[in-house]
């Protein structure tokens, strides 16, 4: 049996599982639940190759529960009902350890398919574990999403990927027969894009292409072998995120030619029209922002239009939006502002809200000074009066720094006129 490397070294326990320490590390949000066997229905959301299927298998093994699996790509309502019937017979309502039903790529299920899961989840016949690479807020129906906890898996970092390679060399029964010197890893890591399965696939491809037992892995060797085995676009696999990355970077780089080329690659590959439109919606805010606020309006209208129309006509609307975004002035100032603010919140914790900014709905709160000394902006000239809106520890901190473009330069002048030198505008 020609079993791929990623499958041969798939972890069987939490101790073998690499990465996702925020979920299954010593203090992970899922660790104690897995150990106790008290598993809620959940959605595992993360990029390809981050261990969603593996984690589902480990949860079932650790909790000693019957395990059923379906793939949303080739399963229908009939298949779902058959599995639920089996699950009810093997456990279900009258046992503390009801069966686990794992559904891979649950975002590909239609509304009716997802509806067919509701009763079984609600009545406790099964514990549902769904895996998705797409935002479940968009792709999972609200009724099902409300019955599940959502856990986010992150792309593997450098240390995780290197640990995977080391484990493969030391533990895989086939690789142990060879003498492998992992001299350089940069090309392997770069090509993997944080996808553990992709990393192992590339690594195995390089190993199998060398007709000798002693192999030294270098960046040059990896690039030489991989360039000879470039796969075509696959919306369910390897190039899915690479091509959308090239698409967004073309938009960010103000190149409409690159944008429409990569857009065409996705369209010809059968990419989900909503996936493309959603990425442009994000780019309109992240990369263009207040340099041209209309970009967000157009991207949102594009999302709504192509969702209604579908292919083939949707390609025209997608192209119009992509060209508009690529040729629009750029600013990531708002994106940087929220990143800085979130960092400040994590570093400083729950700082006290200044009394003058607090709501004072009761007499006691008024007596305690809530809302006192607050200045109502509309009572002042030009609807503005200088006062402090940040906690004391963060006073005078600048989170938003306008970009260098026509509209945000005007915003900078506006802020400088209002705040003088308070924020350094």
Nearest by Cα to 330 from 416, 399, 277, 251: 251
- Cα end-to-end span (Å), the chain: 66
- pLDDT of the chain, 425 residues: tens digit per residue: 578 899 999 998 888 898 899 999 888 889 888 888 788 899 999 988 899 999 999 998 888 888 888 888 777 788 888 888 887 776 544 444 688 999 998 988 888 889 989 988 988 888 999 999 888 888 899 999 999 999 999 989 999 999 999 999 999 888 988 899 999 999 999 888 788 988 999 999 899 888 888 889 999 999 888 865 554 555 555 567 778 889 999 999 999 999 999 999 888 888 889 999 999 999 999 999 999 999 999 999 999 999 998 888 999 999 999 999 999 999 999 999 999 999 999 898 888 888 888 887 777 667 667 677 888 888 888 888 888 888 988 988 889 889 898 988 888 888 888 888 788 77
In angstroms, the CA 324 to CA 21 distance is 41
- Domains of the chain (ranges; CATH) run 20-152 (3.40.50.300), 158-227 (1.10.8), 240-326 (1.20.272.10)
- In angstroms, the Cα distances linking 93 to 79, 85, 147 are 20, 12, 17
In angstroms, the CA 219 to CA 217 distance is 7
Other residues' Cβ atoms within 10 Å of the Cβ of residue 246: 16
Burial class of residue 358, CB neighbours in 10 A (0-12, 13-18, 19+): middle
In angstroms, the CA 257 to CA 326 distance is 9
Helix (H) or strand (E) holding 150: strand 149-152
- 68 - beta bridge partners? 101
Q: Which two tokens stand for residue 144?
A: 């099902």
């Amino acid at each position: 049996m020609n079993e791929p490397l990623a499958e041969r070294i798939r972890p069987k326990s939490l101790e073998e599982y690499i990465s996702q320490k925020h979920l299954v590390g010593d203090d992970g949000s899922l660790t104690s639940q897995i150990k106790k066997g008290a598993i809620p229905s959940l959605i595992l959301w993360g990029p390809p190759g981050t261990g969603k299927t593996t984690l589902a298998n480990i949860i079932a093994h650790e909790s000693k529960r019957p395990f059923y699996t379906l793939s949303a790509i080739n399963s229908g309502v009939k298949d779902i009902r058959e599995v639920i019937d089996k699950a009810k017979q093997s456990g279900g309502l009258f046992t503390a350890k009801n069966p686990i039903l794992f559904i891979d790529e649950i975002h590909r299920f239609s509304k009716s398919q997802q509806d067919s899961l509701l009763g079984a989840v609600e009545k406790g016949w099964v514990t549902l574990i769904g895996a998705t690479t797409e935002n479940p807020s968009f792709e999972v129906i609200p009724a099902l999403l409300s019955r599940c906890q959502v856990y986010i898996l992150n792309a593997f970092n450098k240390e995780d990927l290197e640990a995977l390679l080391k484990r493969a060399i030391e533990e895989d029964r086939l690789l142990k027969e060879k003498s492998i010197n992992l001299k350089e890893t940069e090309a392997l890591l770069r090509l993997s894009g944080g996808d553990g399965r992709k990393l192992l696939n590339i690594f195995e491809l390089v190993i199998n292409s060398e007709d000798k037992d002693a192999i030294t892995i270098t960046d040059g060797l990896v690039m030489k072998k991989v360039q000879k085995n470039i796969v075509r676009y696959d919306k369910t696999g390897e190039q899915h995120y690479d091509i959308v990355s090239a698409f967004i970077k073309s938009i960010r780089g103000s190149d409409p030619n690159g944008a429409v080329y990569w857009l065409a690659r996705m369209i010809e590959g059968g990419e989900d029209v909503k996936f493309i439109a959603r990425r442009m919606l994000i780019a309109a805010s992240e990369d263009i922002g207040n340099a041209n606020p209309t970009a967000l309006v157009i991207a949102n209208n594009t999302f709504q239009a192509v969702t209604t129309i579908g292919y083939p006509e949707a390609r025209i609307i997608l192209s119009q939006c992509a060209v508009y975004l690529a040729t629009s002035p750029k600013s990531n100032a708002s994106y940087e502002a929220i990143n800085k603010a979130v960092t400040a919140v994590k570093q400083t914790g729950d700082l006290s809200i200044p009394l003058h900014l607090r709501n004072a709905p009761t007499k006691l709160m008024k007596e305690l000074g809530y809302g006192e000394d607050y200045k109502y902006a509309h009572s002042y000239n030009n609807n503005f009066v200088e006062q402090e809106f940040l906690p004391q520890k963060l006073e005078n901190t600048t989170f938003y720094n306008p970009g260098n473009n026509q509209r945000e330069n005007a915003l900078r002048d506006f802020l400088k006129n209002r705040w003088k030198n308070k924020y350094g505008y």
